[in-house]
């Protein structure tokens, strides 16, 4: 076991997955030929598809599904709770029973720029690009480029050719 990696026994790793040092993976699934950068955490019930690149300092929380051929830039944060609270109505610390995971899906071929924040209950469409530092608060259309806070469509991408895949 590598002392610089924390990989729980319940993690499902595909073939030829490349893992950097200083990562924390538990209860998740990572597809074939994906690459996980340093200082990345991927929580339980999250899925990363095949041939994805997850750059350093990224947080992928429970409820996030990342399909195949997706690029995630440095320091991307995913959120899975629209109204987070530390305590329940009775004043005690919340437990898993006090809230439900909200899902997020990143579709095949999408790219998310460094420093982006992806709120819960959104879908990022196939081949879409999220600009660096953007805050995604609603669904991103396929083949679009979104930027800003909140992220808005800047323009649409021309048809992806075989050479650019």
Which residues are part of the catalytic machinery?
57
Which of the 8 DSSP states describes residue 86? Answer: S
Q: Which residues contact 33 (CB under 8 A, 6 or more apart)?
A: 14, 15, 16, 17, 50, 51
Instruction: Identify the CA nearest to 137 among candidates 150, 124, 156.
Output: 150
- Say if residues 55 and 72 touch (Cβ distance below 8 Å): yes
Q: Which residues contact 135 (CB under 8 A, 6 or more apart)?
A: 116, 117, 119, 148, 149, 150, 151
Which residue reads 């709120």 in tokens?
119
Q: For the chain, what is the total number of helices (H) and then of strands (E)?
A: 0, 21
Q: How far apart are CA 27 and CA 57, in angstroms?
A: 19
């Amino acid at each position: 076991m590598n002392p610089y990696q924390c990989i729980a026994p319940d993690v499902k790793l595909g073939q030829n997955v490349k893992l950097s040092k200083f990562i924390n993976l538990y209860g998740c699934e990572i597809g074939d030929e994906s690459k996980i950068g340093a200082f990345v955490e991927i929580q339980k019930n999250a899925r990363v598809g095949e041939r994805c690149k997850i750059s350093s300092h990224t947080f992928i929380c429970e409820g996030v599904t990342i399909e195949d051929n997706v690029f995630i830039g440095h320091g991307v944060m995913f959120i899975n709770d629209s109204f987070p609270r530390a305590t329940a109505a009775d004043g005690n610390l919340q437990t898993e029973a006090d809230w439900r995971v909200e899902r997020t899906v990143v579709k095949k071929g999408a790219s998310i720029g460094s420093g982006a924040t992806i709120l819960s209950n959104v879908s990022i469409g196939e081949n879409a690009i999220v600009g660096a530092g953007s805050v995604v608060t609603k669904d991103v259309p396929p083949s679009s480029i979104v930027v800003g806070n909140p992220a808005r469509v800047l323009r649409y991408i021309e048809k992806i050719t075989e050479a650019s895949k």
